[in-house]
């Protein structure tokens, strides 16, 4: 009997005993591994193989539990339908009031109230709007096929003709290049939601164009003078700016609900922990292999300065997983390990804050020797070019076929990850509010930042022109990342040297 058969036999016997005694017949991989004296990651892998073979069923929840197919009882349809709509992390905490406001706005008869979402970059405004859309469908105030249409106002802020065309569509011949009639986003959003991201970038004439739609549900395509079209559209706007200085008062009056989303720093640590778990879980599903996250990493992620809020936290975790996955591939590990050593210095600094931060959660984590997150394998990895881990795997296999060593492959792909990281974090670190030195110095070593600043000032004098701030920040971040890698390499060499000296007879 091989290991997989042994696991299935034990699970079946356990399920039979549990059922006979009136208890639930499921078990998780950790429980089975302990009972059989096996490695947990191997048990998890075999259980997932049994799921693919149709012999066992995987249940939702944490920890992931399995039950033999013959003992699986499908939940009743009535129970599924009556299940309360889950909004998002913070529903019963820091976002309770905001979510109540949002739900009330969506349910208000006859078609809901137009709403503004305000808050710093990365606080989850887009996710909040999407959840309102899902809630509206769940509560049957919008049809199942209702649209959620996104329009980024910043992309067309300087072109009145394009804004009109994108929002309302145009008639053939309305302007040069308009060779046929084209519907706009308002028409696509009819019966659903039009989400106006960065609404503060919508110029006054753009705001005024929406008045007729918001007041009477009417609009005209660009170039139409007589025909009036009808549309029932709920508008949700998102902004990082002061509403009273960026939007017309006449426009604000038409947006009766304003919801302010708090920064990550102002949210409870327990919610941040749940976000961390959710992001790691999402990455694990893409990877398709078990992920182990150590206690020191969790504490650092809970306490490090994160100016880009939830968006940056998500991006940082994705890059940690990418680096750990590279190590997993090169060293042929059974588990993707997220350890303290792979953290960039600005996240490691969060661990240093634990001595200053008075929190029951941090104390619990510090004194729980065995605490770590272990996420079981739940998928074989998502296919498609959008999966970062698939790209890493392809490059690894390609370089391996070329006869390159593990060290060479690591260096090459690390360089790619560095560029990817800069592009991913650009959304959160390159915006105007994060150019300030006090924020930059939280993620870039002060010596590196000021050295780069001095060099670029000299270059500006020589070239006779001013460099864009985003170029300065980008160079500083790149140099900082390179410095970290060099320092890490030196530390490893010193460790090797110390080991030789200490172990030499």
Question: Can you give the pTM of this predicted structure?
Answer: 0.64
What is the reported pLDDT for 63?
80
Contact 346, 296 (CB under 8 A): no
Q: How far apart are CA 391 and CA 386, in angstroms?
A: 8
Own/partner long-range contacts of 396-402 (Cβ < 8 Å, ≥24 apart): 396/326, 396/329, 396/330
Q: Which stretches in the chain have pLDDT values below 70?
A: 74-85, 367-397, 399-400, 406-450, 452-454, 456-458, 460-505
> In the beta sheet, which residues pair with residue 336?
291
Q: Given the DSSP bridges, would you call strands 234-239 and 115-118 parallel, antiparallel or unpaired?
A: parallel
C-alpha pair distances (Å), 393 with each of 329, 346, 362, 400: 7, 28, 36, 10
The 10s digit of each residue's pLDDT in 472-505 is 555 665 666 666 555 555 554 555 545 544 454 4
DSSP code of residue 232:
-
The 10s digit of each residue's pLDDT in 372-396 is 666 665 444 443 334 555 665 566 6
Retrieve residue 460's tokens. Answer: 């500006």
Q: How far apart are CA 290 and CA 95, in angstroms?
A: 31
Q: Closest Cα partner for 302 from 253, 347, 345?
A: 347
Q: How far from chain centre, in Å, is Cα 256?
A: 29
What is the reported pLDDT for 19?
85
Contact 319, 397 (CB under 8 A): no
Exposed/middle/buried for 505, CB within 10 Å: 0-12, 13-18, 19+? exposed
Buried b (16+ CB within 10 A) or exposed e, 175-214: eeebeeebebbbbbbbebbbbbbbbbbbbeebbebbeebb
DSSP code of residue 265:
G
Q: Is the dihedral of CA 18, 19, 24, 30 positive or negative?
A: positive
């Amino acid at each position: 009997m091989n290991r997989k058969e042994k696991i299935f036999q034990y699970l079946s016997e356990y399920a039979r005993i549990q059922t006979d005694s009136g208890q639930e017949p499921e078990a998780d991989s950790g429980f089975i591994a302990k009972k059989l004296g096996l490695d947990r990651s191997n048990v998890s892998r075999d259980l997932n193989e049994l799921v693919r073979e149709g012999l066992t069923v995987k249940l939702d929840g944490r920890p992931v539990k399995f039950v033999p197919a013959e003992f699986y009882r499908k939940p009743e349809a009535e129970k599924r339908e009556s299940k309360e709509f889950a909004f998002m992390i913070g529903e019963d905490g820091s976002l309770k009031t905001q979510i109540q406001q949002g739900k009330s706005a969506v349910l208000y008869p006859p078609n809901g109230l137009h709403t503004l979402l305000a808050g710093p970059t990365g606080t989850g405004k887009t996710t909040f709007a999407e959840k309102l859309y899902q809630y509206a469908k769940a509560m049957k105030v919008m049809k199942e096929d209702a649209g959620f249409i996104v329009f980024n106002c910043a992309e067309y802020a300087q072109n009145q003709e394009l804004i009109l065309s994108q929002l309302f569509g145009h008639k053939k011949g309305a302007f040069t290049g308009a060779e046929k009639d084209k519907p706009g986003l308002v028409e696509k959003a009819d019966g659903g939601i039009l989400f106006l991201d960065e609404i503060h970038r919508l110029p006054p004439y753009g705001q005024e164009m929406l008045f007729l739609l918001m007041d009477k549900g009417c609009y005209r395509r660009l170039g139409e003078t007589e025909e009036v079209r009808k549309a029932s559209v709920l508008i949700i706007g998102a902004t990082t700016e002061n509403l009273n200085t960026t939007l017309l008062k006449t426009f604000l009056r038409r947006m009766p609900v304003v919801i302010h989303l708090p920064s990550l720093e102002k949210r409870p640590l327990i919610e941040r922990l749940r976000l961390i778990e959710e992001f790691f879980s999402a990455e694990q599903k893409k990877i398709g292999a078990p992920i182990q996250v150590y206690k020191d990493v969790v504490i650092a992620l809970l306490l490090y300065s994160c100016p880009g809020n939830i968006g940056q936290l998500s991006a940082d975790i994705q890059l940690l997983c990418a680096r750990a996955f590279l190590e997993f591939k090169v060293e042929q590990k059974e588990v993707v390990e997220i350890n303290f050593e792979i953290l960039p210095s600005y996240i490691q600094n969060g661990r240093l804050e634990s001595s200053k931060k008075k929190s029951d959660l941090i104390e619990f984590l510090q004194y729980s020797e065995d605490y770590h997150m272990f996420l079981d394998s739940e998928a074989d990895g998502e296919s498609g070019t959008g999966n970062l881990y698939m790209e890493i795997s392809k490059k690894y296999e390609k370089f391996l076929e070329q006869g390159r060593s593990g060290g060479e492959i690591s260096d090459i792909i690390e360089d790619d990850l560095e560029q990817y990281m800069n592009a991913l974090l650009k959304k959160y670190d390159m915006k105007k509010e994060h150019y300030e030195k006090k924020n930059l110095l939280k993620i870039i070593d002060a010596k590196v930042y000021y050295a780069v600043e001095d060099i670029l000032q000299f270059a500006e004098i020589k070239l006779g022109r001013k460099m864009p701030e985003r170029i300065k920040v980008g160079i500083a971040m790149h140099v900082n990342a390179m410095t970290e890698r060099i320092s890490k390499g030196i530390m490893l060499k010193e460790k090797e040297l110390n080991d030789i000296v200490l172990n030499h007879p």
